[in-house]
Chains A and B, each alone.
Chain A
C-alpha cells in the first residue's frame, strides 16, 4: 500500500512539473496548449476513497495554478471532473464498472477514447469559462476548448500507450 502511495506522489509531482515547464510553453499556433496533467485524475484507481480523491484533485489543480498565475481556474476544473467521474465511468464502461473491476490498460480503445474525451472536454470547458469569465466571449471559450481538447486527448492517449505495461 505504501509503495502505491509513493508512486502516486512521484507521479503527482512529475505531472505538475512537466505541465508547467513543458506543456504550458508549447503555444501551438499561438494559443493552443495541452493540459495533460489531468491524466492523474483520469487514471486514478477506480476503487478509492472519494473524499481523498477530490481533495487530491483540488491540490493538483492548485499546484498548476500557483505556477501559472491563473487564480483558481485549474483547481476548479479539476475538482469538477473529479466529482463527476463516477457517472462518466458508468456511461463509458457500462457493466465492467458496475463490478468495480475496471483496469484502464485492459479496456477497449473505443471505450477509453469516449471516457477520456468526455472528461477532458468538460475540464477544458469549465477551465476556460472560469478564465475568461465573460459569457459574451462564448465563441472564444468554445474555440479554445475545442482545439486544446483535441491536443490533450491525443497526448493523453499517447501517454497511456507509451507508459502502460503490456499484458502478458
Chain B
C-alpha cells in the first residue's frame, strides 16, 4: 500500500497529465456523435452572454447589408403574391383554426465560424422561445443548418459546413435524392452524394431540400450545380454544389418548427415491446 501511494506521489505530474489529456480526448470524441455533444458548448450562460454583448455592438456595422437582403426578399415575396392569380378573397386570412404544418421563428446569429472542419453557429434564442433539438435553420436565400443543443436562452446550430451533418436533398428538375455533405475544402461549396447515375444532372441546375426528413419542408433552395462526376464505384454522382447563402456572413435566420414532427417520429419508431 505504502509503495502504491509513493508511486502516485512520485509520478503525480505524469498521472495528472494523463488524466487531463484523456478527459479532453473524451470531450473531443463526444463531439463526434450527434445528439451527445452537450457538455462543452457555447450555449451556456457565460459564453452566450459574452457573444450576445459583442454582437449587440457588431450588429450596427452590417445594418445596410441586412436591409438590402430584406428588400430583396420582400421583392421576391411581392412578385409571388401579385403574379399568382388568386382572387382577393381567397388570400388566406390570419385565422388560428387553419392547420399549419411549419411555423417560422426569427433569431439572430451571435456567433458564426467557418474555418474549422466542424463549424457551429450560436443563436440568441433558447428553450424559453421553444427552440429545441432537430429544428431546421434557414435564411431567405437557403439553408444554414440544424439545431443540436439548446439552453434556456441560447441554442447551437450545426452548420452545413460540418463534417458531421448529412441533409436530405434532391434535384429541382427531377426527384432523385441524395445526401448533402461537406469536404472541408471551401465554405462556398458543399457536396451532394449518392445521386443515381440515371439522374439528369446539368451544370447550373438548382438543388433543393428533399422533404424526406421531417426537419426541413420540401423545396428550400440550397445551391446550384457547379461541377459533377461519377464516384469511384461508378454507380452514383458526386456533385459540387455552390451555395446560395454566403455562409461567412449570416445575420438573421428563420427557425422552422414542424408541428407534425412528433407524429411522424412516432410512426417511424414504433415502441418495441
Contacts and interface: CB of A to CB of B under 8 A. Distances in A.
* B partners with A: yes
* Chain B interface category by residue count: 35 or more
A21 interface: yes
A43 interface: no
B25 A76 contact: yes
Nearest to A83: B17
A114 interface: no
Contact of B120 (A33, A55, A69, A131): A69
A130 B118 CA distance: 12
Interface string B130-145: 0000000000000000
Interface stretch (A57-65, A99-107, A157-165): A57-65
B249 to A, nearest CB: 11
Given A69-B120, A71-B40, A54 B23 contact: no
Interface in B207-250: 248
B25 A130 contact: yes
Interface in A118-166: 130-133, 140
Indicate the size class of the contact surface on chain A: 35 or more
A53 B204 CA distance: 56
Nearest to A29: B115
Contact of B24 (A50, A75, A83): A75
Contact of A130 (B28, B42, B184): B28
Interface string B147-172: 00000000010000000000000000
Given A70-B116, A71-B31, A76 B21 contact: yes
Interface of B: 12-14, 16-17, 20-21, 23-32, 37, 40-42, 44, 46-47, 50-51, 54, 113-118, 120, 122, 156, 184, 186-187, 248
